[in-house]
Structure 1
Amino acid sequence: MKKIFKLVLLNLILVSNLLSSKIIVGASPVPHAEIINFIKPDLQKAGYDVKIVEFNDYVIPNYALENDEIHFNFTIGLPYMKEFNREKGTHMVAVAGVHIEPLGVYSKKIKSLNELKNRAKVTIPNDVSTETRALRLLEKAGLLKLDKADAEFVTVLDILENPKNLEIITLEPASVPRSLDDTDIAVINANFALSANLSPKNDSLFLEDKDSPYLNVLIVKEGNENLQSTKDFVKIITSDKVREFIESKYDGSIIPAF
């Protein structure tokens, strides 16, 4: 009887260890999932069975993490994470800054912003963090002036001056690249630009500075910051090997943040 009990206990321990070695990562297709695929062999060597779930959305993976459907969320930036927590009551915690995706202005109709005509159509992302970034970028490009210079977040309602009477249209971030055929300029996240075969470095008319504070971060649910799997993941994803991979593969379009 004791032997049977020991065998059952041993099996339970083995199953528990097996489950704890499985990690599910929610990631945007580019560059997030590509980075995870690059480090997957190193995570496997560290004893982890890695599954990647791709998201073309900035909301669903946050709830997936909150509901323990994924263990890591690698889709969004730090300011957006903080605002989402504040608004939705989620418990996301950033454990590593991985990279910066410079926001850029793109067009299929003009070669320079100097060619932009009055009443031109402009599409920008509609999530609160990226809308702020997009409007700040358009302001820096000299196309408009915002009312709340020091505000953490701004919207189109905060436009103080719009000399060209630009028609600014907000869209779901993944849809903005598809609007290029119907708009004069579009402000696009680097990850969605790359997915649309656009090079932030070579194809943008105006690009966010490299010292952007909008870090893309690796996120866990509050309470999981000190798990061994989290520590191992952070160590691997912020290694020199990963920095070299990002610099080589994306040639300045994506910038390492560690």
Structure 2
Amino acid sequence: MKKWLLSSLFILVIAALAACGGGSKEEASGDKDEKAEGLLSDSKLTVGVTAGPHEQVLEKVKELAAEKDLDIEVKVFTDYIMPNIALDEKDLDLNVFQTIPYLEQFNEDRNLELVEVGKTLTFPMGIYSTKVKDVKELPKGAKLGLPNDPTNGGRALVLFESAGLIKLKDGSGNTPTVKDVEENKNNFEFVELEASQLPRQLDELDAAAINTNFAIEHGFKPAKDSIFIESKDSPWVNVVASRAESKDDEAIQKFLDVYQSDEVKQFIDETFEGSVIPSW
């Protein structure tokens, strides 16, 4: 009799545990299906950023979003690859760290479908000079410095064209080389140097296109000290990226409303004093 009772109790316990386990599995499966469909939570988003200005701005966005019942979890990365991998694999809902050309190239290289959903910041490349106050004052035959790597070198040439110094061949895109210079009426000489060396060599040049981070390291304030600077509609504006499947989600629009607010713009202006430009 006792053996029968013990056996019955054991069967009941196993059945109960199985029922609980079955419910959890079903619930987990439901969560997985919702995630697979690209649906985002209305009250929480996980957003990836790179360390530095992007992180600082997102912390401010997080603070303001909390007032609108939107919880933002910030994940910080130290490279430019993992934020997109994490977004594609649904470990992130959004990321904020990259320019449009970089996003397009990453999608092409990795066969991904990540899309821009909103603009954020521009770290403007500027033209600097210790000899002239305006690009129009550059003499014929002036030496123009530019980075010697393909991405930043091409960006510099596009900047020179925007400043009216040269004309590039049609179709040269965002990464032209000096071979793509079609018109150079003033016979400017292009001096290609390591990007970090350009500020140090500026006195030996008539002008140079310098990345914001190296300009700041050298003591320049881009908005004040450059003689020409990229505009807000530069293709190198940084963007918020999402998966294509969730780009129209209401939670993303809620996030953008906070990010692209006057409060965040004021924070950026006061914190970075023109070195980082709100570009929405």
**TM-score scaled by length of structure 2:** 0.66
Give the 5 Å matches for 1:49-68. Answer: 49-55=72-78, 58-59=80-81, 61-68=83-90
Give the 5 Å matches for 1:30-109. Answer: 30=53, 32-45=54-67, 46-55=69-78, 58-59=80-81, 61-68=83-90, 70-106=92-128
Structure 1 residues 191 and 93, CA, compared in 2 at 3 Å: closer, same or farther? farther
Q: Which of the numbers 174, 180, 186 marks the counterpart of 2:199? A: 180
How many equivalent pairs are there? 244
Structure ID, larger Rg: 2
Task: Measure the CA separation in 2 of the matches of 1:168 and 1:70.
Answer: 39
Q: Which of the numbers 132, 136, 159 marks the counterpart of 2:181? A: 159
Q: Which moved more, 1:240-249 or 1:197-206?
A: 240-249
Task: Measure the CA separation in 2 of the matches of 1:240 and 1:152.
Answer: 33
**TM-score scaled by length of structure 1:** 0.71
Q: Deviations over 1:32-68 (max 9, x none)?
A: 222112112234453525224144x555543443344
CA contact (8 A) 1:177 1:186 kept: no
Three-state SS of the structure 1 residue aligned to 2:266 is: helix
CA contact (8 A) 1:43 1:50 kept: no
CA contact (8 A) 2:50 2:80 kept: no
Task: Measure the CA separation in 2 of the matches of 1:22 and 1:141.
Answer: 40
Task: Measure the CA separation in 1 of the matches of 2:196 and 2:168.
Answer: 24
Task: Measure the CA separation in 1 of the matches of 2:58 and 2:218.
Answer: 20
Stretches of structure 1 that go unaligned for 5 or more consecutive residues are none
Stretches of structure 2 that go unaligned for 5 or more consecutive residues are 1-15, 36-40
Task: Measure the CA separation in 1 of the matches of 2:148 and 2:249.
Answer: 35
CA contact (8 A) 1:101 1:190 kept: yes
The offset of 1:158, in angstroms, is: 0.7
Structure 1 residues 145 and 49, CA, compared in 2 at 3 Å: closer, same or farther? closer
Q: Deviations over 1:79-99 (max 9, x none)?
A: 442343234423221111223
Q: Is residue 238 of structure 2 the alignment partner of residue 216 of structure 1?
A: yes
* Percentage identity across paired residues of the two chains: 26
Structure 1 residues 123 and 63, CA, compared in 2 at 3 Å: closer, same or farther? farther
CA RMSD of aligned residues (A): 4.0
Task: Measure the CA separation in 2 of the matches of 1:200 and 1:73.
Answer: 26
Q: Is residue 41 of structure 2 the alignment partner of residue 26 of structure 1?
A: no
Give the 5 Å matches for 1:103-118. Answer: 103-106=125-128, 110=131, 112=133, 114=137
The offset of 1:241, in angstroms, is: 1.9
Structure 1 residues 182 and 210, CA, compared in 2 at 3 Å: closer, same or farther? same
The offset of 1:210, in angstroms, is: 4.4
Three-state SS of the structure 2 residue aligned to 1:102 is: coil
The offset of 1:180, in angstroms, is: 2.0
Amino acid at match of 2:176: T
Amino acid at match of 2:20: F
CA contact (8 A) 2:148 2:192 kept: no
Residue equivalent to 2:11: none
